Amino acid sequence: MKFTKMQGCGNDYVYVNGFTEKIEADKKAEVVRFLSDRHFGIGGDGVIFINPSDKADFEMEMFNADGTRSEMCGNGIRCVAKFVYDYGMTTKTKDLPIISGGHVKYLDLELGEDGKVSMVKVNMGAPILTPDQIPVIAVGERAINLPITVQEMEYHMTCVSMGNPHAIIFVDDVMAMNLEKIGPDFENHSMFPRRTNTEFVQIVDRNHVKMRVWERGTGETLACGTGCCATAVACVLNGYTDNKVEVEVLGGKIFIEWDREANLVYMTGPAVTVFEGEINI
């Protein structure tokens, strides 16, 4: 099977051209776990299949490293746009429609000096704030600054969905957090019917925050595009930042704007091809 390894701010996935590579649906989870393994496979935060679609130009079929499906990946969808443009599968650089988890996103591509995609801006759509749609077990119209107890310590979280669930925790120092210890307990907490991604966020100023993320089904990653979007929304809802936020993650910087009037979140960040190869599965 041919593949391409790509990353957006260090959030790395194995990309497979679903137009030419065919894997039976009931075998995909096993294949994903093998490909994602950093010791025995290729290594990545998961696997993304780029498939035909009758509802958009392309479908992004995303799997976490543990073989479970995920609805959306912000860094992943930017790399899908780079993949299809760089490999000549599209000539569009504006409003490129890609569907993932049943929702179509529109992407604008910025080309580098080599004529290949270097940066991508994604219209991520409206943030979902209603608790039962995120989903999170909470009373009220929004889940803002809610208490949650993990390992006998109380935190406060704001919950947002950008097509997948996020719980944002504001902390004084993100680098002091032991995510390996507490991340799994947040992910699998009983308040989250479908588990959750958890962002730990430090406010630097009104346009700049630092973030670390524990991703559902993967663990700590160097970046999470939807997590950056959810983080910016949570920052605004809590009055910590303006509508334009630079989110500094372990793998780089992602720029988020929440257009409050249109209620749309825009994400801009890099997309990089690491290497190509072929592997027996």
What SS3 state is found at 36?
helix
What SS3 state is found at 91?
coil
Same fold for the pair 2-123+269-278 and 131-262: yes
Q: At the topology level of CATH, where does 2-123+269-278 sit?
A: Diaminopimelate Epimerase; Chain A, domain 1 (3.10.310)
Q: What CATH code is assigned to 131-262?
A: 3.10.310.10
Averaged pLDDT of the chain = 97
**What is the rounded distance in angstroms from the CA atom of residue 252 to the CA atom of residue 201?**
15
Output Rg (C-alpha) for the chain, integer angstroms: 18
The owner of tokens 């307990």 is 185
Domain range list for the chain: 2-123+269-278, 131-262
pTM of the model: 0.94
Task: Just list the catalytic residues.
Answer: 73, 224
Q: For each of the chain's 281 residues, which pLDDT tens digit applies?
A: 999 999 999 999 999 999 999 999 999 999 999 999 999 999 999 999 999 999 999 999 999 999 999 999 999 999 999 999 999 999 999 999 999 999 999 999 999 999 999 999 999 999 999 999 999 999 999 999 999 999 999 999 999 999 999 999 999 999 999 999 999 999 999 999 999 999 999 999 999 999 999 999 999 999 999 999 999 999 999 999 999 999 999 999 999 999 999 999 999 999 999 999 999 99
How much of the chain exceeds pLDDT 70, in percent?
100
